[in-house]
Homo-oligomer: A and B are copies of this chain.
Amino acid sequence: MIIDCHGHYTTVPTSFRDFRTKQVEFANDPVNAPKPSDCVVTDDEIREGIENGQLKLQQERGSDLTLFSPIAGLMSHHLGNERTSLEWASISNDLVHRVTEMYPDNFVPVCMLPQSPGVAPANSVPELRRCVEELGFVGVNVNPDPTGGYWTGKPFTDREWYPLFEAMCDLDVPGMVHVAASCNPNFHGTGAHYLNADTSVFMQILQSDLFKDFPTLRLIIPHGGGAVPYHWGRYRGMSLEIAKRPLEGLLDNIFFDTCVYHHPGVELLTKVIPADNVLFGSEMIGAVRGRDPNTGEYFDDTKRYVDACDALSDADRFKIYEGNARRVYPRLDAKLRARGL
């Protein structure tokens, strides 16, 4: 089985995006704000988006199951306020849940959180618990910068995050460290902010004792780990210098996906990072949607790049495509086992 750990529901109907625009516009005018019940998406609209989008590409490219979460760019925690963030997270998670109920063999849900700048991460715990305990979500996307690219909050390793991490450990769900859209003109969203966040949070963790405090916390750094595997030597040296410990110790808790859109990048990733710590991911349909004019293939068809890594053994491939995902997301594994898989 080939599990894609990183997919977003980017094929929502336009009306869904329009609702969000209005919700934000009236964030401080609740009387005139649209009601959650105004945000209607029909089963037909879901089918149209999914069957012409993610499901079609899944089948064409040969993966079987996608860990599916709300559109990262549209999480936009920097917009509105705590109330609208909660409303939006709840609506978005419910919609993703509907997709996974309609296509249970192909999509398994991962939730977003109702984060908001300056609001304690602890306040996101009830929505996390609702998604996991009531709706069967198996993981969570955590935004390390709810300010949308101004980074005026506290590092991801600050104690203000601990109640959230406690809940994640208690629920046994891993977190993908995934920012939302950037409102800082210095940082293009998918071309800079995403990769910067991946790199920055990894470095914050390197400097911290996060996994001493949470030995069972598991974090996925998406987009191939930002700049990290490419600069693995830099981080190995810094870990020895700053933290007085080998970098490799972080690998009990940190995992990287394969959302790197060319073969040499995926080859480096799989060469530098142990096979136990790499999870297949495509981010599709997401950051880059076109085809490589040199090959005619889609840039984000990352399975091709993994397949072409000749140095990987069959055992390594099994880990990257299935084994690691089932280990890192135990609730996914339980779901699959319940289906005899």
Contact = CB atoms under 8 A, between A and B. Distances in A.
A238 interface: yes
A241 B187 contact: no
A263 B145 CA distance: 32
A224 B233 contact: no
A117 B91 CA distance: 41
Nearest to A187: B200
B229 A288 contact: no
A229 B231 contact: no
Please give the count of copies of this chain that the complex contains: 2
B292 A233 contact: yes
A154 B234 CA distance: 29
Scoring A150, A226, A272 by chain B CB atoms within 10 A of each residue's CB, the highest score goes to A226
Contact of A238 (B153, B190, B231): B190
Interface stretch (A62-70, A126-134, A202-210): A202-210
A155 B192 CA distance: 12
A41 interface: no
A300 B231 CA distance: 11
Interface string A235-269: 11110111000100000000000001111110110
Interface in A107-152: 144-145, 149-152
Given A149-B151, A203-B191, A264 B272 contact: yes
A191 B227 CA distance: 10
A290 B267 CA distance: 27
Contact of A151 (B184, B207, B290, B292): B184
Contact of A231 (B152, B224, B290): B224
A340 interface: no
A278 interface: no
A293 B199 contact: no
Nearest to A207: B188
Given A200-B192, A241-B290, A265 B232 contact: yes
B233 A230 contact: no
B152 A150 contact: yes
- Chain A interface, >50% SS class: helix
B207 A233 contact: no
A196 interface: yes
A195 interface: yes
B230 A265 contact: yes
A88 interface: no
Interface in A194-222: 195-196, 199-200, 203-204, 206-207
A271 interface: yes
Contacts of A246: 293
8 contacts: A149-B151, A155-B185, A188-B204, A196-B196, A233-B261, A234-B288, A234-B299, A236-B261
Interface of A: 144-145, 149-155, 184-188, 190-192, 195-196, 199-200, 203-204, 206-207, 223-224, 226-227, 229-238, 240-242, 246, 260-265, 267-268, 271-272, 287-290, 292-293, 299-300
Q: Which 9 A-B pairs have the closest CB atoms?
A: A233-B262, A233-B261, A237-B288, A227-B227, A230-B230, A237-B299, A191-B203, A196-B196, A192-B200
